[in-house]
Chain A
Amino acid sequence: MRTPLRPLTRRGLLRGALGSAALLATAGATAGCGTEGAQQTEAGCVSEDLSGAERKLTFSNWPQYLDVDESDASKRPSLDGFVASTGIQVTYTEDINDNNEFFGKVQNQLAACQGIGRDVIVLTDWMSARMIRLGWIQKLDPARIPNVAANLLPSLLDRSFDPQNRISIPWQSGLAGLAYHGGVTREIRTVDELLTRPDLKGRVTALAEMRDTIGLLLQSNGHDPANFTPAQFDDALAKLKRAVDSGQIRRFTGNDYAPELAKGDIAACLGWSGDIIQLAAENEKIRFVAPDSGVILYSDNMMVPNKATHRANAEALIDYYYQPAVAAKVAAYVNYICPVRGAQAEMEKIDPKLAANPLIFPDDALLARSKVFMTLDEKQEKEYEGKFQQVIGA
C-alpha cells in the first residue's frame, strides 16, 4: 500500500532552519576570530633536504618557457641534458599562468608552513619580493651555484629584494617598453607621445601591471623607478589618470594586448619585449621601442619554497642553467632577455641573427637605462596598488 509522505509543515521547516542556524553559528564562531598572519620565517619552516637519497625534483614553470625539440614536442633538450649529466629526474609542469592566480593556489599552504609539492617555482620580481617578504622562500647555498655568481648579468645583481643573489635567481628577463604597429600609425619614440598624441586617441593600451606602467611613466618624468618618493608616484599616476580620463588609453591589459596589436585594433601600447619579438617575427611592421627615458627590466625568478625537500637538487638545476651554452639553448627557443652573461657568444653558434637581437642580448647602452622597479613593503604595495587600481577602474 502506498502511504502518502507527510508534507513538510511550517513547524518542520522552522526546526530545520533552527538546526541550520545552530550549525552556522558554530561555523561563524570559528571564522569569527580573524585569520592567522601569513608571515613565516625560513628557520621556522625548515624541512629535511632529501636530495642525497632522492635524485629527483619538481619544477613548476610558465607555459612555453623552456626549449622543446623541433622534431619531437615531447622532448626538452636542455632539461634532458640536465637529467643525463646529474641523474636527477625532473618532473616538469607548466602550471603557472598568472602570478596572482598561482599565489592564490599556494598561499594557504605556505602561510601554514606546509609544503606545496614543488622544489622550484618561477615567479615575477614583485611576486618573488612578496613571497620573500613573507618568509616563504629558502635561501640557496652560494657554494652550490657558482655559475650564478660568475654569469649573472650585472644589471640583475643585488636587486633590492635579494641583495645577495641567493634566494631568487632570474630564469628569463624582459623589458617593458613601447610598441607600435607601423602599418596603422607612424613611429613612436616617447611615452608622452603615446599618452597625448591626438591621432592615437582610443587606440592605445597600457599594462595592468602597476610596476611596468607606473615605472615607465616615472621614467618619462625623469624619475628613477628603482628609487622614488610618494610624491613622484602621485605625479606619474596623475599623468596616467589624465590619459585615461581623456580617452587616450583604451584599456589596461595583460598579455592580451598582443593579438589586438597584431590586428591593428590598437596602434600602440605599453608592452613586453618577449611578446613583441614574437609578433615582429610574423609582421615586421610591429616594433618594440625602448624610449630614451628608460625601460623597466623585470625577471621571472627561480625560487625554492619552504618545505621543498630537494633543495640541493634544485641548486644543481639552477647552476646547470647558468652555463652559457645551456642558457643560449633556452634563449634561442623562448626569445626573452637572457640573464646569463656569455650566452651571446654561445648563441653565435646556434643562430647569429638571434645573437644580434638587442631584445635577447641588450647592449650596454640599453642595459644602462633599464631599471628594476623598487621593492615595495606591504603597506606601500597596498597603498600604491590601491591608488593605481582606482585609476585603471577596478
Chain B
Amino acid sequence: MTARGRHRLLPYLLLLPGVAWLLLFFAVPLLQLAAASLYDPGGSLSTGYAMTWAFGNYPDALRAYWPQFARSFMYAGAALALALLMGYPLAYAIARKAGRWKNLLLVAVVAPMFTSFLVRTLAWKTILSDNGWLVGLLRDVHLLGPDGRLLATPVSVVLGLTYNFLPFLVLPLYASLERLDPRLLEAAGDLYASPAQTFRRVTLPLSRPGLVAGTLLFFIPATGDYINAELLGTPNEYMIGNVIDSAFLVRLDYPQGAALSFLLMAAILAAVFGYLRRADPSQGVL
C-alpha cells in the first residue's frame, strides 16, 4: 500500500475502536430494543414474543402513561431553572472571583460525585425528614403548615434532581467563563457599559457554549431519572423512568417497556434539537 493510501485510511482506522464499541454496545442493543417495541403485546415470557410489527404499542403506551411523561419534563425543567439560578453565579464566582480558592471550590463541586448517586439521594431523605431541622425551621417561619412536609412531595423530587445533576451544569459553564478574556470586560467598561450591560452583552453571549452544553448535560439525564422520584417522591411523583423500570422488571411487559424507552428517547431528541436550533452555540445571541 502506498503512503498516500495509508494516510487516506488513517482516520477510519482511528475511528475503528470507537465505532466498533458503539456498534456492539450501543447500536445493536438499541436495535434489539426497537425490535422488542414492535413485538406482539399478547406474548409472554414463557411463550416468547413474536415479531408482529405491532406499531400500536406506541400509542397504547403513550395513552397509558402520558402523565408520567409530562411530569418528567416538568420536573426536569423546574430543576433546570433552579440549577441555572444557582449554577451560573456559582460557576461565575469560581471562574472569575475565586482567586486562589478556585481549585478548592472546583473540587468541592465535584467531590460529592465520588460517592454513589444512591447514597447522595438517601442523604436528602435525612435532610428533608419530617422531623429534621429544615422542615422544623420552615414550620417555625410558617412557610409550611404544622403538618406540612417536604419529603414525598414534588418539591423534594425537584430538589433532588437539582442537587444530583448540578455539577453537570456547573462544569461546562465554568470552563467557558474561565476562558473569557478579561480585556473584553475592561473594554466594555471603557465604552461606558454598566456592569449589567456588560454581563448581558459580553459575558452572557460568550458563555453560551458552556451554557448550552451544561443545559443539555443536565436536562437529558434529569428527564430520564427515576431514583429521585422513587426515593424522595410518592407514586404521584413517579416519572417515566419509574414506569419503564417496572415494565421491564416487575410487569415483564417488554414490548411496552421498549416502546416507552423509544418514546422517551424521541421526546428528548426532539426537545434537544428544538433547543439547539434556537440556541446555536456557535453564533448569535440567546
Contact = CB atoms under 8 A, between A and B. Distances in A.
A264 interface: yes
B131 A263 contact: yes
B264 to A, nearest CB: 14
B225 interface: no
A134 B235 contact: no
A382 B44 contact: yes
B240 to A, nearest CB: 10
Nearest to B126: A263
Given A31-B35, A250-B234, A37 B11 contact: no
For the complex of A and B, the 5 pairs showing the least CB-CB separation, nearest first, are A393-B235, A37-B48, A31-B35, A251-B234, A39-B46
B242 A394 contact: yes
A9 to B, nearest CB: 11
A2 to B, nearest CB: 11
Given A31-B31, A382-B251, A394 B235 contact: yes
Contact of B238 (A31, A32, A33, A393): A393
Contact of A34 (B12, B43, B250, B251): B43
Contact of B35 (A32, A379, A393): A32
B50 interface: yes
Given A6-B8, A20-B27, A394-B250, 13 more contacts: A31-B32, A32-B51, A34-B39, A34-B49, A39-B46, A104-B249, A111-B45, A134-B46, A256-B231, A378-B44, A386-B253, A391-B235, A393-B235
- A36, A249, A256, A389 interface centre (most CB from chain B within 10 Å): A389
B208 interface: no
26 contacts: A5-B10, A6-B7, A28-B31, A31-B36, A32-B35, A35-B36, A37-B45, A38-B45, A38-B48, A111-B45, A133-B46, A134-B45, A244-B235, A244-B236, A250-B152, A251-B152, A251-B233, A251-B235, A264-B130, A386-B251, A386-B253, A393-B235, A393-B237, A394-B242, A394-B246, A394-B250
Given A32-B51, A38-B45, A250-B152, A23 B23 contact: yes
Interface of A: 3, 5-6, 8, 16, 20, 23-24, 27-28, 31-39, 100-101, 104, 107, 111, 133-134, 202-203, 244, 249-252, 256, 259-260, 263-265, 378-379, 382, 385-386, 389-394
Contacts of A39: 46-47
Contacts of B11: 5-6, 8
A126 B23 CA distance: 38
Contacts of A259: 125
Contacts of B84: none
A34 B131 CA distance: 52
Interface in B1-57: 7-8, 10-12, 19, 23, 27-28, 31-32, 34-36, 39-40, 43-51
A260 B253 CA distance: 31
B169 interface: no
B262 to A, nearest CB: 14
Contacts of A104: 248-249
B31 A20 contact: no
A389 B152 contact: no
Contacts of A24: 27, 31
Nearest to B246: A394
Contacts of A265: 125, 129-131, 151
A263 B35 CA distance: 47
A317 to B, nearest CB: 29
Contact of A264 (B131, B152, B253): B131
A337 B252 CA distance: 30
Given A23-B23, A33-B51, A393 B242 contact: yes
Contacts of A202: 147, 149, 152
Contacts of A249: 234-235
A394 B245 contact: yes
Contact of B250 (A20, A133, A260, A385): A385
Contacts of B152: 202, 250-251
Contact of B235 (A28, A263, A385, A392): A392
Contacts of A33: 51
B166 interface: no
A378 B129 CA distance: 40
Contacts of A31: 31-32, 34-36
A5 B7 contact: yes
Contacts of A260: 125
Contact of A28 (B8, B19, B35, B68): B35
A389 B234 contact: no
- A107, A111, A202, A244 interface centre (most CB from chain B within 10 Å): A202
Given A34-B39, A34-B43, A34-B49, A101 B131 contact: no
Interface string B214-255: 000000000000000001011111100011011011111100
Nearest to B4: A3
A34 B48 contact: yes
A370 B223 CA distance: 43
Contacts of B23: 20, 23
Given A28-B35, A244-B235, A36 B28 contact: no
A389 B131 contact: no
Nearest to B50: A34
Contact of A35 (B7, B19, B49, B234): B49
A37 to B, nearest CB: 4
A5 to B, nearest CB: 6
A301 to B, nearest CB: 20
Contacts of B248: 104
Contacts of A385: 250-251
A389 B31 contact: no
A393 B236 contact: yes
Contacts of B251: 382, 385-386, 389
A379 B252 CA distance: 11
